[in-house]
Amino acid sequence: MTTSYRAAGVDIAAATRAKELMAEAVRSTHGPAVLAGMGAFGGCFDLAAAGAAGQSVLVASTDGVGTKTLVAAAVGRYDTVGQDLVNHCVNDILVQGARPLFFLDYVAAARLDPDQMAAIVGGVATACRAVGCALLGGETAEMPDVYAPGAFDLAGTIVGVVERDALLPRPDIASGDLIIALPSSGLHTNGYSLARRIAGLGTEGDPYAARPAILGGQSVGEALLAVHRCYLPEVLALRAAVPLKGLAHITGGGIFDNLPRILPAGLGATIERGSWPIPPIFSYLVARGQLAEQEAFHALNMGLGMLAVVPAGAAGAALDAVPEAYRVGVVTDEPGVRLV
Amino acid sequence: MTTSYRAAGVDIAAATRAKELMAEAVRSTHGPAVLAGMGAFGGCFDLAAAGAAGQSVLVASTDGVGTKTLVAAAVGRYDTVGQDLVNHCVNDILVQGARPLFFLDYVAAARLDPDQMAAIVGGVATACRAVGCALLGGETAEMPDVYAPGAFDLAGTIVGVVERDALLPRPDIASGDLIIALPSSGLHTNGYSLARRIAGLGTEGDPYAARPAILGGQSVGEALLAVHRCYLPEVLALRAAVPLKGLAHITGGGIFDNLPRILPAGLGATIERGSWPIPPIFSYLVARGQLAEQEAFHALNMGLGMLAVVPAGAAGAALDAVPEAYRVGVVTDEPGVRLV
């Protein structure tokens, strides 16, 4: 009796096929800064060709898309979570003032399905191209016994660059500064374990196929898979128009945990209820799950995808620069974030 | 009835405690190039402070440790896989000629155990410190329903730097060049699905507790968890002593898939059986699993952790510089890698 690697649950041929399917998508993201043809173990990126100068600071962030992967697998749609991942990571370095340079992805599952993997990485490449970010490398891992059948995980790392004097947040955020919200497209990539549980409450069949009236024709699955918005264009427009003081990407922990991260010690903020429209998927989840307001705003972004802090006199110019933004609150001299 | 985030299987308090436990280990890796106190979403790294010059090329790589995580979980030892991960990634950029700058890790499980997470990330930090690499960021994700109970995944991304004229492999690798092997400590991070299957063959109890005579007192679990060697010191010694032409890190696909990646088109290599000692864990797995030689050398490194290509006349100087290395083969003008 011989034991083969394939019998042990690892299919190297499938992995190779997945890589071939991904190769073209990956190459489509490569600009002149990517050194090609290295037959490489690691990707090579030429800083000077990307316009990085002497005072450049690299900004790096690793993140995943949480159990949004389970919704994607249940709905059978694999091309959007890759976009979610990249956009999440781009937003995470935007808040430091950085622009994206390159990205690396990590996809793992109990068993590699080459077409699913290609769809996932194709989504990663699509979102990278949209922001001029090179998909420099990545890893697909077949992990029998680690992952639940049909489940997969997706994580990624972004590296961006910022000149020292453009780093955010600026230290001069002060009481009285205004808070502008850039609207989210939905849950983005946080709160999916809660959302999946609520969607499944009292349901025998497929919880994602339901089309409750509040979603206006969309299924729950479609609303939950709405792609995480990338705020690069809006942030560039804001920075060109006003002295932007800080940005908070509203991810896990919601406004309560994320906004304080950019506020100087001793300061807090109030966010006015009703000052922005809450997307229907949140109203659906809050009602169906009977979520308390604090719980909802802690687990979910509730429509507030990115918060920007601008000087009091700059709100008009900010809203002119980004017409779909809302003025939602103000920085106060009382610590903590309060809904008022 | 209200649905809380904790009831949905996500424990934010546990995640916060895990982060606190990790914070000190992470800080211990930070040199002057890491911009501190950013309260940051992403980590900031000052290239100039790290000595990167104008012609610098960044080299980045993402990888995981495969199902070695399952062996670690079964044995209950969580401090070594983090070292495996970093050392694997360091080796992956060494083969491009790069030195490590910074690292970001990703740890995910169905349920976060703060102490296990802290042990894992502590291992990451230990290995980072050993090579002067900053642990710049990371993500711990609690993913109910994605991971099997008790299982976890661990992946990471390294970013390093190399001056353009020091990039490897050099294009002048030629027939007649010699191949030097740096010995592995064991399986490193590849072949664990196969190894776990073989270890479990015909076993009712814990397959990792067995202490077969061939392992000289070590248990199977201990031998399988041997830490992936980092070859930074050996590679620095080699580069100082000889005109190093190329390096191949022997990972998934073994010598057959990894060595050809650095050879110019049309060239191949022969590796001489018996020219290096095969560590006992490989002999154990080959015998117990009745693995064919081709299969074993395709799935496992078989003791050949890193292969270095040097000019024919430089073998003596290479072995003087790294006394524990072996001369194991030669570059030929016949494509493919053959055991002879």
Task: Write out pLDDT tens, residues B291-315.
Answer: 999 999 999 999 999 999 999 999 9
Q: What is the amino acid identity at position A255?
A: I
CB atoms within 10 A of CB A213: 8
CB A3 within 8 A of CB B198: yes
Q: Name residue, tokens 């769809």.
A: A119
CA distance B145 to chain A (A): 7
Within 10 angstroms of residue A77's Cβ, the number of other Cβ atoms is 16
Q: Are B158 and B89 in contact (CB under 8 A)?
A: yes
B2 vs B21: CA distance, rounded Å: 31
Return the structure tokens found at B202.
Answer: 């015909």
pLDDT at B41: 47
Of A1, A8, A145, the CB nearest to B151: A145
| Rounded Cα–Cα distance for residues A241 and B25 (Å) | 41
Task: Report phi then psi at A122, rounded to 5.
Answer: -60, -40
Q: What is the mean pLDDT of chain B?
A: 90
Q: Are A163 and A103 in contact (CB under 8 A)?
A: no
Alpha carbon distance B5, A299 (integer Å)? 7
User: Tokens 């990956």 correspond to what residue?
Assistant: A26
Two structure tokens written together for A70: 């389970």
pLDDT surpassing 70 at residue B1:
no
Place of tokens 């020292």: A164
Distance CA B278, CA B48 (A): 44
Tell me how close the Cα of B316 comes to any Cα of chain A, in angstroms.
28
Looking at the DSSP assignment, which residues form a beta bridge with residue B46?
A57
Residue B127's contacts (CB-CB under 8 Å, 6 or more residues apart) are B82, B83, B85, B86, B87, B90, B230
In this predicted structure, the answer to whether residue A155 has a pLDDT above a threshold of 70 is yes
Count other C-beta atoms under 10 Å from residue A186's C-beta: 24
Three-state secondary structure along A248-270? EECCCCHHHHHHHHHCCCCCEEE
| CATH classification (class only), B178-339 | alpha beta
Residues B56-92: tens digit of each pLDDT: 889 999 999 999 999 999 999 999 999 999 999 999 9
- Residue A268: phi, psi to the nearest 5? -145, -160
Please return the burial class of B204, using the count of CB atoms within 10 Å of its CB with bins 0-12, 13-18 and 19+.
exposed
For chain B, helix, strand, coil in percent to 5 are: 35, 25, 40
- Computed over its alpha carbons, how large is the radius of gyration of chain A? 21
pLDDT of residue A9: 67
For A73, nearest residue in chain B (alpha carbons): B146
Question: In the numeric block, which tokens belong to residue B161?
Answer: 């730097």
Q: Is A214 on the interface with B (CB under 8 A)?
A: no
Mean pLDDT check: name the lowest of A19-28, A98-107, B183-192, B270-279.
A19-28
Domain ranges of chain B: 31-166, 178-339
Reported as a pLDDT band with limits 50, 70 and 90, residue A144 is confident
Task: Say whether pLDDT at B275 is over 80.
Answer: yes
Residues of A with Cβ-Cβ distance to B157 under 8 angstroms = 60, 62, 104, 106, 157
pLDDT, one tens digit per residue, over A82-121 is: 999 999 999 999 999 999 999 999 999 998 888 898 899 9
Structure tokens at B277: 């000692």
Q: What is the pLDDT of residue B8?
A: 65
Residue B48 three-state SS: helix
Q: Token pair for residue B84?
A: 């495996």
CA distance B121 to B112: 13
Looking at residue A4, its pLDDT comes to: 61
CB distance from A166 to chain B under 8 Å? no
**Angstrom distance (rounded) from CA B186 to CA A187:** 44
Structure tokens of A115? Answer: 């077409």
Residues 6+ apart with CB under 8 A from A332: A175, A267, A268, A269, A270
Separation between Cα atoms, residue A85 and residue A104, nearest integer Å: 11
Domain formed by B31-166, architecture? 2-Layer Sandwich (3.30)
CB of A136 closer than 8 Å to CB of A99: no
Kindly determine whether residue A41 and residue B261, on different chains, have CB atoms separated by under 8 Å. Answer: yes
User: Which of B87, B106, B111 lies closest to B22 in space, CA to CA?
Assistant: B106
Q: Is the dihedral of CA A177, A314, A185, A340 positive or negative?
A: positive
| Dihedral angle computed from the Cα positions of residues B63, B67, B73 and B79, in that order, rounded to the nearest 10 degrees | -30
> Which one, of A126, A119, A125, A127, lies nearest residue A90 by Cα?
A127
- Write the residue in B151, B252, B299 that is nearest to A146 by C-beta: B151
Query: How confident is the model at residue A40, as a pLDDT?
Result: 47
In this complex, do B41 and A35 lie within 8 Å of one another by their Cβ atoms? Answer: no
- Residue pLDDT, tens place only, B176-217: 999 999 999 999 999 999 999 999 988 888 999 999 999 999
Compute the nearest-CA separation of A325 from chain B (Å).
22
Cα separations (Å) of B97 from A332, B166, B170, B305?
51, 6, 10, 17
Q: Which of A311, A82, A125, A92 is nearest to B44 (CA)?
A: A92
Per the model's pLDDT, the better-predicted residue between B335 and A18 turns out to be B335
Surface of A (79-108) touching B: CB under 8 A = 92-93, 95-96, 98, 102, 104-106, 108
Token pair of B236 as six digits: 């620095």
> pLDDT-based confidence at B6, cuts 50/70/90?
low
For tokens 């016994």, the residue is A145
Closest residue in A to B163 (Cα–Cα) = A46
Q: Which of A103, A122, A128 is nearest to A18 (CA)?
A: A122
Rounded to whole angstroms, the Cα distance separating B111 from B145 reads 10
Which A residues 260-319 touch B at CB under 8 Å? 261-262, 289-292, 295, 298-299
B78 in helix, strand or coil?
coil
Q: Which of B67, B133, B146, B201 should we substitute to test contact with A (largest number of A Cβ atoms within 10 Å)?
A: B146
What are the tens digits of pLDDT across the range B72-81? Answer: 999 999 999 9
Distances (CA, A) of B122 to B37, B158, B161, B190, B216: 21, 17, 24, 22, 29
CA distance B83 to B228: 7
Class of residue A31 by CB neighbours under 10 A (exposed 0-12, middle 13-18, buried 19+): middle
Considering only CB atoms, B141 lies closest to which of A64, A145, A162, namely A64
Is the previous residue joined to B144 through a cis bond, with omega within 30 degrees of 0?
A: no
Concatenate the DSSP letters of all residues of B17-37 into one string: HHHHHHHHHHHTT--TTEEP-
pLDDT digits (tens, 9 = 90+) for A36-65: 544 444 577 877 777 776 678 899 999 999
Spatial distance between the Cα atoms of A10 and B197, rounded to a whole number of angstroms: 11
Structure tokens at A151: 């489940």
